[in-house]
Chain A
Amino acid sequence: MTAGEVSRLSRARRSRAAAALLFSVILILAAAFFRLQVLGGGAYELQSRNNRLRPIPIPAARGAIYDRHGELLAESIPGYSLSLLPAPPDSARVTLDRLAPYLSLTPEGIEGILERRSRNPQLPVLVKDDLSFGQVAAVEERRPDFRLVVIETHPRRRYPAGATVAHVTGYVGEISEGELDSDEYVEYEAGRTVGKQGVERSYESLLAGAAGTRYVEVNARGSIVREFPSDLARAAEPGMDLTLTLDLGLQQFADSIFPEGDVGGVVALDPRTGEILLLYSNPSFDPNLFVGGISEVEWAGIRDHPRQPILNRAAAALYPPGSTWKLVLSTLGLRQGTVGIDTYMPTSCRGALQYGRRPFRCWKPEGHGPLDLSGAIKESCNVYFYQLGLRLGLDPLLSGVDELGFNQATGVDLPGEISGRFPPSRDWYDERFGRRGWTESVVLNLSIGQGETEQTLLRMAQFYSALATGESPVVPHLMQSAELEQLREDWSLDLSEAHRRELVSALTRVVNEPGGTAYWHRPREWTLAGKTGTAQNPHGEPHSLFVGFAPASDPRIVIAAIVENGHPDNQTSRAVPLASQLVSRYLRSEGVPPDRAIEAPAAIPAPIATDVEGGVQ
């Protein structure tokens, strides 16, 4: 073997080694691709989709809201919204800065949007919800500058009846951070529109519907390239339409007759079912302003307005019930046998009752003279009820009122209802004023609906409903629902039918007999039964109240009205005519046959009869 042959042999061996290396490496590479493409194929396919597909929520159209006659209270119409696609913070900021002049964004607004964006950086962030057509056009014309921007049609809330029903419908707005964190909104993402007040809030789950999802394909820079038809996509399910028990016509009538410039509210129920026919609060606000984000200035104007237009005076405001409370005392007195309807008190009214060293006044300085319970209700005599309260005694009064549920809310289907307030026991006074800081004389004020009692109009209407029908108290509600109509409170008047009828007839005298405190404003066709009230308060002139029902024998409507500072001395109560007209309007529209012989046209109620009209204390 020569050296050359040896060299050849060794080279052939090295060649074989190289070839072996080549093929084993190719095999390893092929195996790597097999592992990735066949064994891992599904996972990477998914990752590839996640990589390039972005879910975009399709907002669901909220359900419409109708009144009891099918009149529209709230609807969803198409609006334009502008969102920013996922992008690095710098590009987002640049785009927003560029958008600012067209959408009138403030620097604070931009910061807010960027902050929301940072919470969910892979989702588009809503920039503005209610673009005008001009704004859409302005942005579309400059499309190349706004690659990160999507303009979508977006259901937009509209409240055709506006401010008149604002406290019923409430309004919608973008979900807040606090709401996002709460359990109730687990399935909501930032940027969603939710009900903020009123029925919009309480029936959010029904009205909202289910947002859909569509997928778009985006490139590595996050710009949308095209719509991606995917089996994962879901169409939005529109929300449920709601029909309310409210009567829009009645509501609008209330708005038209509510004393100009006054503050107050009215609520009306069907006493048989608890259906809320009317829930009006004045002043009000335009819920349409809130749609798509209210401007800071507008919101401040509503929030800081001295007359608090946002306050629902029918369900979320407490007032001293004044003389309307006397029926609560009467109920307690009758059911405990403390008095009968024709019981006279030892001291006749001489304009005041001396208790301890202090005189407690009646509203009528010259006094009512001797009165039985019925007459005391009719003429709203304070002196009578001071003595009734004293005769009941403080403890039975406190526990009796508590049993009638005056420390509870009605459970109406509106957010923000507040419970009535009444001292549940002596301990309450001890805690509040100290053991020696108060005397039994509190019973006198409590007897006439002053002092430590405050109730909502709705709560008083509910009590009078029970009085009107003799049934267990209904639960006031706004949504039409057989189930809600069947709901009853867990307390009852516990009053015999005879006693109840006696009270109803006393209430009838208030309105229908000369000398009754509401006589001048009686409806002509129907027998209205009710009680006036004048609530002393630290904010100025007494509030004017009226709670009543009609027709007295077969009540179809219970009404409670308040006009704040609506009963200045020597003037007529402004709540009574309001309630009277609303009752007539309702009964007429419902076709309830008149139960009174129509009187000859009476003299127009004169605002001079201060000695007839009911002021109390």
Chain B
Amino acid sequence: MKRERALAIHGLGDPTLLGGALLLAVLGIGMIWSAGQIDLPSAVTGAWRRQLAWLVIAIVAFAIVVRVPMRWLEWATPWIYAFAIFLLLAVLVVGGGPNTRSWLRFGGFSFQPAELAKLATILLLARMLGGRKEPQARLFELWRPVAAVVVPFLLVMAQPDLGSALIFVVILISALFWARVPLFTIFMLVSPGVSLILGFSAPVWGVWFVIVVLGLYLRRSYMVEAVAVALANLAAGALATPLWNRLAPYQQRRLLVFLDPEVDPRGAGWHLIQSKVAIGSGGVTGQGFGLGPQKRLAFLPEQHTDFIFSVVGEELGLIGVLVFLLLLAWFLRRVLRVATESSHGFGSTVAFCFFAVWFAHLVINIGMTVGLMPVTGLPLPFISYGGSFLLTTFVGVALVCRVAYET
């Protein structure tokens, strides 16, 4: 009861969530400051101030969003989703950015509509799946949530922004998972995607296809479903190569480099090699805050955005890395707990989806700096430089806090 009162007073739900988010964001600004401490003139040097300004905006947004009751939000969801899709279409026409059309600018202010689309998709899926008493067990019953994800997914792919597109898949799977859809159904759903990736190697794909067919047989799936899944896998395997050829060359290179960074040590492999060198040379205690030579001498690319964690590794060493990892893990655990404890179907699903999205960002971003994941350009929540991402992250935190409050 004491806890209930504390929540009521702050109006925050779980106050440790906001505290954790603020702590991580402040540490992030510290790392962005350090990322700007380099020996060459660089735009990054002032980035921490811009990030600080964005943090203020994000806190304001948090304060507003946290006051919005879940019911209102659930009601507004279709409109938010429609608006997000509209922006995704708009960005394809008028957007800008390096290599991709992913940014919208108004005045001095730029914004990635994909960020809003992630939020909107989470809300829409939570609304579709969260309220159900019984989970949908059959594949074809899932057409609505699948469609809700496929639309923004395809639009983001068209930018093309592989990393963000991947997050939509994460949203779909996590929402279905949290809606207690049977795991095998989810398996059937994503199996064509796996076929698409494995399609480059005929023998590996063959093994996968046998597993899928065997699974379909053993689980006694409905004949129509089984045939559809098998056909989809066949088609995906066959389409892999033509689709690959349609990827942007920089995306192809990034995927190839994931397999072997030495393929192109001066080009696409450069990022990964330099990141590993920076992290490795940090040792246990690091080179000192602000002092990492790889970063200072500009060997480390994207040191304030995608590779901010390499700066952590180089300058703060294994100790710093573990502190950051534990803080992030602790924060995610709190979000997961909110999702678990919420009795509100919609809210619980929203919280879980944010958990899954941030977790995916963390795994992909940090995994990328040590070569466990391909270089996809996904930022690290709270830490990486990027205004609109920080803003949507804090809006997410506000929603999770609201869920905790309404529990």
Q: What is A's interface to B at a CB cutoff of 8 Å?
A: 3-4, 7, 10-12, 14-15, 18-19, 22-23, 25-26, 28-30, 32-34, 36-38, 40-41, 43-45, 47-48, 51-52, 217-221, 225-226
Q: Please name all residues of chain A whose beta carbon is closer than 8 Å to the beta carbon of B279 when the two chains form the complex.
A: 33, 36-37, 44
Extra 5 A-B pairs, beta carbons < 8 Å, given A34-B318, A225-B297, A226-B39: A4-B133, A11-B180, A36-B313, A44-B279, A219-B298
CB of B283 within 8 A of CB of A38, answer yes
- Any A CB within 8 A of the CB of B93: no
Nearest neighbor of B285 in chain A, beta-carbon distance: A37
Known: A19-B336, A47-B280. A29 touches B370 (CB 8 A): yes
Nearest neighbor of A36 in chain B, beta-carbon distance: B280
Q: Please encode chain B, from 69 to 91, with 1 for each CB lying within 8 Å of some chain A CB and 0 for all others.
A: 00000000000000000000000
What's the nearest-Cβ distance from chain B to residue A79, in Å? 30
What's the nearest-Cβ distance from chain A to residue B131, in Å? 12
Give B304-322 interface residues, CB cut-off 8 Å to A: 313, 317-318, 321-322
Residue from B40, B133, B284 within 8 A of A37 (CB atoms): B284
Tally A-B pairs: CB < 8 A.
124
| Interchain CA distance A44-B321 in the complex, whole Å | 17
**What are 22 residue pairs bridging A and B, where the CB atoms are less than 8 Å apart in the complex?**
A11-B340, A12-B340, A14-B178, A15-B340, A18-B356, A30-B322, A30-B325, A32-B367, A33-B325, A36-B276, A37-B321, A41-B280, A43-B280, A45-B280, A48-B280, A51-B274, A51-B297, A217-B293, A219-B297, A220-B297, A221-B298, A225-B297
Q: Please name all residues of chain A whose beta carbon is closer than 8 Å to the beta carbon of B212 when the two chains form the complex.
A: none
Residue from A15, A28, A219 within 8 A of B336 (CB atoms): A15
Q: Please name all residues of chain A whose beta carbon is closer than 8 Å to the beta carbon of B133 when the two chains form the complex.
A: 3-4, 7
Nearest neighbor of A21 in chain B, beta-carbon distance: B359
CB of A22 within 8 A of CB of B370, answer no
Residue from A4, A11, A41, A217 within 8 A of B283 (CB atoms): A41
Secondary structure at the B interface, as helix, strand, loop or mixed, is helix
| Interchain CA distance A41-B322 in the complex, whole Å | 16
Residue from B274, B284, B326 within 8 A of A41 (CB atoms): B284
| Interchain CA distance A38-B282 in the complex, whole Å | 9
CB of A15 within 8 A of CB of B339, answer yes
Residue from B326, B329, B352, B370 within 8 A of A33 (CB atoms): B370
What's the nearest-Cβ distance from chain A to residue B173, in Å? 12
Interface centre among B133, B333, B370 (most CB of A within 10 A): B370
| Interchain CA distance A32-B367 in the complex, whole Å | 9
| Interchain CA distance A40-B370 in the complex, whole Å | 12
What's the nearest-Cβ distance from chain A to residue B275, in Å? 10
Nearest neighbor of A26 in chain B, beta-carbon distance: B329
- Any A CB within 8 A of the CB of B240: no
CB of A10 within 8 A of CB of B297, answer no
Q: Please name all residues of chain B whose beta carbon is closer than 8 Å to the beta carbon of A41 when the two chains form the complex.
A: 280-284
CB of B180 within 8 A of CB of A22, answer no
Residue from A4, A10, A32, A226 within 8 A of B372 (CB atoms): A32
Known: A37-B317, A38-B318, A52-B299. A45 touches B333 (CB 8 A): no
| Interchain CA distance A48-B329 in the complex, whole Å | 30
CB of A225 within 8 A of CB of B277, answer no
| Interchain CA distance A7-B343 in the complex, whole Å | 11
Known: A32-B372, A33-B321. A44 touches B336 (CB 8 A): no
Q: Please name all residues of chain A whose beta carbon is closer than 8 Å to the beta carbon of B277 when the two chains form the complex.
A: 44, 47-48, 51
| Interchain CA distance A225-B39 in the complex, whole Å | 7
| Interchain CA distance A555-B328 in the complex, whole Å | 97
What's the nearest-Cβ distance from chain B to residue A532, in Å? 74
What's the nearest-Cβ distance from chain B to residue A229, in Å? 13
- Any A CB within 8 A of the CB of B294: yes
Nearest neighbor of A40 in chain B, beta-carbon distance: B280
What's the nearest-Cβ distance from chain B to residue A602, in Å? 83
| Interchain CA distance A34-B332 in the complex, whole Å | 22
- Any A CB within 8 A of the CB of B200: no
CB of B281 within 8 A of CB of A219, answer no
Interface centre among A25, A48, A220 (most CB of B within 10 A): A48
What's the nearest-Cβ distance from chain B to residue A30, in Å? 6
What's the nearest-Cβ distance from chain A to residue B186, in Å? 11
CB of B297 within 8 A of CB of A37, answer no
Give B191-240 interface residues, CB cut-off 8 Å to A: none
| Interchain CA distance A28-B322 in the complex, whole Å | 12
Nearest neighbor of A52 in chain B, beta-carbon distance: B297
- Any A CB within 8 A of the CB of B366: yes
Q: Please name all residues of chain A whose beta carbon is closer than 8 Å to the beta carbon of B322 when the two chains form the complex.
A: 30, 33
CB of A10 within 8 A of CB of B281, answer no
| Interchain CA distance A97-B180 in the complex, whole Å | 70
Q: Please name all residues of chain B whose beta carbon is closer than 8 Å to the beta carbon of A52 when the two chains form the complex.
A: 293-294, 297, 299
CB of B281 within 8 A of CB of A47, answer yes
Q: Please name all residues of chain A whose beta carbon is closer than 8 Å to the beta carbon of B340 when the two chains form the complex.
A: 11-12, 15
- Any A CB within 8 A of the CB of B141: no
Known: A22-B336, A41-B280. A11 touches B298 (CB 8 A): no
Q: Please name all residues of chain B whose beta carbon is closer than 8 Å to the beta carbon of A22 when the two chains form the complex.
A: 329, 332-333, 336, 359
Known: A10-B180, A30-B325, A33-B313. A44 touches B333 (CB 8 A): no
| Interchain CA distance A15-B280 in the complex, whole Å | 35
Residue from B134, B317, B321, B363 within 8 A of A30 (CB atoms): B321
Q: Please name all residues of chain B whose beta carbon is closer than 8 Å to the beta carbon of A30 when the two chains form the complex.
A: 321-322, 325
Give B29-60 interface residues, CB cut-off 8 Å to A: 39-40
CB of B293 within 8 A of CB of A25, answer no
Q: Please name all residues of chain B whose beta carbon is closer than 8 Å to the beta carbon of A45 when the two chains form the complex.
A: 280-281, 283
What's the nearest-Cβ distance from chain A to residue B345, in Å? 9
Q: Please name all residues of chain B whose beta carbon is closer than 8 Å to the beta carbon of A38 when the two chains form the complex.
A: 283-284, 318
- Any A CB within 8 A of the CB of B405: no
| Interchain CA distance A306-B251 in the complex, whole Å | 68
Give B342-365 interface residues, CB cut-off 8 Å to A: 348, 352, 355-356, 359, 363
Q: Please name all residues of chain B whose beta carbon is closer than 8 Å to the beta carbon of A47 when the two chains form the complex.
A: 277, 280-281
CB of B180 within 8 A of CB of A32, answer no
| Interchain CA distance A23-B326 in the complex, whole Å | 9
Q: Please name all residues of chain A whose beta carbon is closer than 8 Å to the beta carbon of B321 when the two chains form the complex.
A: 30, 33, 37
What's the nearest-Cβ distance from chain B to residue A152, in Å? 21
Q: Please name all residues of chain B whose beta carbon is closer than 8 Å to the beta carbon of A48 when the two chains form the complex.
A: 277-278, 280-281, 293-294
What's the nearest-Cβ distance from chain A to residue B276, in Å? 6
CB of A217 within 8 A of CB of B297, answer yes
| Interchain CA distance A219-B326 in the complex, whole Å | 33
Q: Please name all residues of chain B whose beta carbon is closer than 8 Å to the beta carbon of A225 when the two chains form the complex.
A: 39, 297
What's the nearest-Cβ distance from chain A to residue B176, in Å? 11
Known: A4-B133, A37-B321. A32 touches B370 (CB 8 A): yes
| Interchain CA distance A447-B168 in the complex, whole Å | 106
| Interchain CA distance A363-B282 in the complex, whole Å | 92
- Any A CB within 8 A of the CB of B177: yes
Q: Please name all residues of chain B whose beta carbon is closer than 8 Å to the beta carbon of A217 when the two chains form the complex.
A: 293, 297
Give B152-202 interface residues, CB cut-off 8 Å to A: 177-178, 180
